[in-house]
Structure 1
Amino acid sequence: MNNTNTLLNKWCWLWFLAMVSLSSCVPTKNVREANKTMPEQYNGQLTNDSLNTALVSWKDFFSDSNLISLIDTALANNQELNIMLQKVNMAKNNIKAKKGEYLPFVDFYAGAEVEKVGEYTRNGAVEHNLNVRDNEEFPEPLSNFSMGLSASWELDVWKKLRNEKKAAVLEYLASVEGKNFMVTQLVAEIASAYYELLALDNQLKIIEQNLEIQQNALKMIKLQKQAARATQLAVNRFEAEVYKNQSNKYQIQQQIVETENLINFLVGRYPQHIPRNSDSFITKRMDAFHAGVPSQLLANRPDIKQAEYELEASKLDVKVAKANFFPSIGITAGIGLEAFKTKFLTETPESLLYNLAGDLVGPLINRNAIKAQYANANNRQLQAVYEYEKAILNGYIEVTNELSNIEKLEKSYQLQENQVEALTKSIDLSVQLFKSARAEYTEVLLTQREALDAKIEIIETKRDQLLANVKVYQALGGGWN
């Protein structure tokens, strides 16, 4: 008997040493670190002032109370954002699930069964000749009642389960940043649609004013025709211009309807009028912008922070995949009561049962699947490195583009102001010259058309300025706090 135990112990030690030896042959692969190096300033930036507009809350960034109300409502009702919030909650619940996996599992059980075995079997023969006590035969059929506690615990020697839990935490933080990034997009989208709506209102107003001028000019040209000072061709040309702008008026009215409905969709409600004040649109001043330094994007932009958390989670996933090469150690235990009659359940120690076992299980032969999982984990980590670097580069370029756009739009707007002023004066002048037969009717038409185009263009430039302000605010990482 002693020889058998000695031989068994030797085999156990040899098996354990073989497992450890195989585990030591785990493949390793080094994935390069992400490159966080950024220029010290944006292209064209004159100073390295660390003051950053991205730190300003969106409620302070936007001064229009109607716009603030729309954004506030959208943050509560927008379906897309609410869907994202549920994903964040699921990521949070996953942390609890992963945390529970490396703690002991304890279960309660209770059971009852009845069994009749054949008499001409080993169990049947034994039971037939067995007495429980004096003058008390073994019951047939045999009932069995049990109750107790069972426990199991996988020892997290290689920190596989803890790393899974840490990765779940990082995935949760990444989902929070993903939600923040969606908030910045939602705020920017509503603000952009709102400014688009104000611009359309002003374009409609300009067209209506221009229609009034053109209709007066049409009356004038008809009178000139009656006095034989103009031809039917001139009358037809003026009428065509009136019809053209009336058609444009309906097109803009349709764009207003669609833009209002877009805002209502983002706000999460059915179509209704969007309250707004469009009168001060063209005179709205652009606030000064502080872009800070490029390195601040790493802390301010939610998409960059999301990519960073996902990169850290992928590093832990590699450790988890590597831990699969090592043997797992498990402990199981149980304690309870068992008897064939319920009255015996409380008789201890006769009805008491317990067990304690430990096991060591590890991959020995054909580890291709584990190797493939480990290789995939390394590839996902490298992919996360590229995603992080891409987010940083994209953020820098977006800010640079919008800063340049703001500067160019400001210069363009100043020139367009001069153009509109000159063409507005030329409308009255062309009419007076035409009345005194010193200008052709085509000059009147051309002047009115150029003046309308210039007024529409300056409204579009003002809109583009406001949109550029919103975009650079978003690009810097503002709008979610």
Structure 2
Amino acid sequence: MTMLKIRNLVSLLLAAGVLSACSLAPTYERPAAPIAGAFPAEPVPVATATGISADSGWREFFQDQRLQALIEGALANNRDLRTAALRIEEARAQYNIVAADLLPNFNAALAGSRGRTAAAVSPLGASAVTTSYQVGLNLAAFELDFFGRVRSLNEAALSQFLATEEARRSVQISLVAEVAKAYLAERAFAEQQELAQRTLNARETAYKLAQQRFEVGASSALDLRQNEVLVQTARAAFATLTRQRAQSVNALTLLVGRPLGELPPAQTLSAQNIVAELPAGLPSDLLVRRPDIRASEQRLMASNANIGAARAAFFPRISLTAGIGSASSELGDLFEAGTRTWSFVPQLALPIFDAGRNRANLSLAEVRNNLAVNDYERTIQVAFREVADALVARGAIDEQIDAQRRVLEAQADRLKLSELRYQNGVASSLDVLDAQRELFSAQQSLIQARLLRLTNAVDLYRSLGGGLSETAAR
């Protein structure tokens, strides 16, 4: 008899699960992307393009072994990435909590009670002491989800979990890009610092010669002061670059999450091979590979499911409570014949008057869904602009580097000619000093232009959703 009742109860619960398959959530449709069908064209020949995709590994893109070691350290120790990973665990636990409501929860219970009844209220006119023991299997209030309320809440929790997972991927991509940019900035400051050191040494030597010439009357005090100005200018530049380089190392240490320690030798900016070409008019649908866009869409799907839960609140809520077991006044007789007990308590709750609470909850869910749609469209627009800006800047930066290189060559020739004219008495020392100053400025500007070109490539790689994989030939 007991097994028959258990089978009947299980069959009833399975039937309830089949009947609860309907949902009142709106059919989800991905909003149309509010952007152009292709990125702006850029002056890069398609025939020479190698291409980048979201499947490109960061090792494949960043081939500097020192930079690879820094990225490895950041992925293992960065606190922001750890926080994002813990957020995933939090969202997974919340999803499991909600998902548990889809299945019935059974509890085994053992209870005992002992009490005395006063003679004044006893039907026998005498006091009595009663004892009872109960053991059984109970089904807590299990909601028969006819209108999909629990299922919609479960779908919303799942989408929130997936959104959190995509957010972690987005943090990882951003972290790889930020480590690369911080490393490149440190390398640029290092090259500029070395240049400033060489310039300072050369100008100090020139100043000593000018001082000797002044002491013997071969030059004026004006020439001496001009040389001193150049020395102090180079000294100030060296001090500034020393500070900036130290701060960039501190920023890199924060990103990596631990002291930098021993690392492979560093490469110069000109040796960094991270400038990959892309074909013009890259289709904008590649943006769906970006984790931040996928996370935004998952949040949109969650808000869509919440509408279904809010709609289901207008309909009756049916729940079941049941139990089967044994009861006896003696503990040793719990499983004897005639002690079997069972209970079956269906309950229906029909909302009649709630002062507009359910309608307000539905309006709230719909407004939040509209906000999620707007956030999804905004995320796509921002992503499109990031890629478009990086593509548009590529040609201009190449022109800037070429022009700056020509400026450097012209300034170097100018200095040579000025020194020859000064030695022959045709030009004054002011021409030489001005040529030295302009050459130093041109050298610094070329380093900055090379850094800009490399950071533009990093920005493009990040904006296309790269950086997740570690695949590359080692």
Deviations 1:350-409 (CA, angstroms, capped at 9, x unpaired): x22211111110211124111111111101100010011001111111111111111111
Q: Within 5 A, what are the aligned runs for 1:261-410?
A: 261-270=250-259, 272=261, 275-278=264-267, 280-282=268-270, 284=272, 287-290=275-278, 293-349=282-338, 351-410=339-398
1:6 matched residue in structure 2: none
Matched, 1:206 2:195: yes
* Cα distance in 2, alignment partners of residues 415 and 283 from structure 1: 20
Q: Do the aligned partners of residues 51 and 417 (structure 1) sit closer, same or farther apart at CA in structure 2, a change above 3 Å counting?
A: closer
Q: Which residue of structure 2 lines up, in the alignment, with residue 66 of structure 1?
A: 66
How far 1:282 moved relative to its partner?
3.2
Distance 1:444 1:41, change over 3 A: same
RMSD between superposed Cα atoms in Å: 2.5
Q: Check if 1:170 corresponds to 2:159.
A: yes
- Distance, in Å, in 2 between the alignment partners of 1:105 and 1:282 is 65
User: Comparing both chains, which one has the higher relative contact order based on Cα–Cα distances under 8 Å and sequence gaps of 6 or more?
Assistant: 2
Distance 1:333 1:50, change over 3 A: farther
How far off its partner does 1:218 sit? Answer: 1.3
Aligned residues: 441
Taking a change above 3 Å as real, the CA distance of residues 449 and 127 of structure 1, as seen in their structure-2 partners, is: farther
Q: Do the aligned partners of 2:25 and 2:305 also contact (CA within 8 Å) in 1?
A: no
Q: Does 1:436 align with 2:424?
A: yes
1:237 offset after TM fit, Å? 2.4
Q: Would the alpha carbon gap of residues 191 and 50 (structure 1) be closer, same or farther in structure 2, given more than 3 Å must change?
A: closer
Q: Specify whether residues 51 and 234 from structure 1 end up closer, same or farther in structure 2 by C-alpha distance, changes over 3 A only.
A: closer
Q: What secondary structure, in the 3-state scheme, does the structure 1 residue paired with 2:106 have?
A: strand
User: What residue identity is the alignment partner of 2:382?
Assistant: N
Q: Aligned residue for 1:456?
A: 444
Task: Tell me the TM-score normalised to structure 2 length.
Answer: 0.87
Moved more, 440-449 or 381-390: 440-449
Deviation at 1:270, TM superposition (A): 3.3
Pair 1:79 & 2:79 matched: yes
Change (3 A) 1:286 1:188: closer
Q: Structure 1 residue 55: deviation in Å?
A: 3.0
- 3-state secondary structure, aligned to 1:142: strand
Alpha-carbon contact 2:42-2:395 (below 8 Å) kept: no
Conserved 8 A contact 1:110-1:146: yes
Aligned counterpart, 2:35? 38
Q: In structure 2, what is the Cα distance between the partners aligned to 1:348 and 1:167?
A: 49
* Structure 1 unpaired stretches of 5+: 1-26, 129-138
1:231-250 matches, within 5 Å, as 231-250=220-239
SS of the residue corresponding to residue 125 of structure 1 reads coil
Measure, in 1, the Cα distance between the counterparts of 2:341 and 2:376: 57
- Structure 2 CA distance, aligned partners of 1:307 and 1:112? 54
Question: Does the 8 A contact of 1:74 with 1:268 survive in 2?
Answer: yes
Report if aligned partners of 1:298, 1:305 keep a CA contact under 8 Å in 2.
no
The two structures have a TM-score, normalised by structure 1, of: 0.86
Identity %: 25
Secondary structure, counterpart of 1:270 in structure 2: coil
> Is 1:419 aligned to 2:407, yes or no?
yes
Counterpart of 2:329 in structure 1: which amino acid? F
Cα deviation for residue 158 of structure 1 reads: 0.9
Residue number in structure 2 paired with 1:11: none
Mark the runs of 5 or more structure 2 residues left unpaired by the alignment: 1-23, 470-474
2 CA distance for matches of 1:233 and 1:273? 49
1:154 to 124, 134, 143: 143
Residue by residue, what CA displacement relative to the aligned partner does 1:233-290 show, whole Å, maximum 9, x if unpaired?
Answer: 3212212321221122122112212111211111111365765424x32354663322
Give 3-state SS (helix, strand or coil) of 1:55's partner: coil
Work out the CA distance in 1 between the residues paired with 2:355 and 2:276. 62
Instruction: Check whether the contact 2:25–2:152 (CA below 8 A) recurs between aligned residues.
Output: no
Q: Kindly name which structure, 1 or 2, has the bigger radius of gyration based on alpha carbons.
A: 1
Contact 1:40 1:293 in 2 (8 A): no
Question: Quick one: structure 1 residues 454 and 285, their matched pair in 2 at CA, closer, same or farther if it must change by over 3 Å?
Answer: farther
Query: For residues 136 and 124 of structure 2, what CA distance do their matches in structure 1 show?
Result: 27
CA contact (8 A) 2:203 2:231 kept: yes
Q: CA deviation at 1:175?
A: 1.0
Q: SS at 1:34's partner residue?
A: coil
From the superposition, tell whether residues 173 and 33 of structure 1 become closer, same or farther in structure 2 (CA, over 3 Å): closer
Decide which of 149, 174, 179 is 2:168's aligned counterpart: 179
Whether contact under 8 Å (1:53, 1:478) holds in the other structure is yes
CA distance in 2, matches of 1:438, 1:45: 48
State the secondary structure of the residue aligned to 2:190.
Answer: helix
Whether the aligned pair in 2 keeps the contact of 1:116 and 1:140 (CA below 8 Å) is: yes
- The match for 2:101 is 101
Deviation at 1:227, TM superposition (A): 3.9
Q: Which range moves more in the overlay, 204-213 or 78-87?
A: 204-213
- Structure 1 distance, partners of 2:317, 2:260, is 60
Give, as a single letter, the amino acid of the residue that structure 2 aligns with 1:299. V
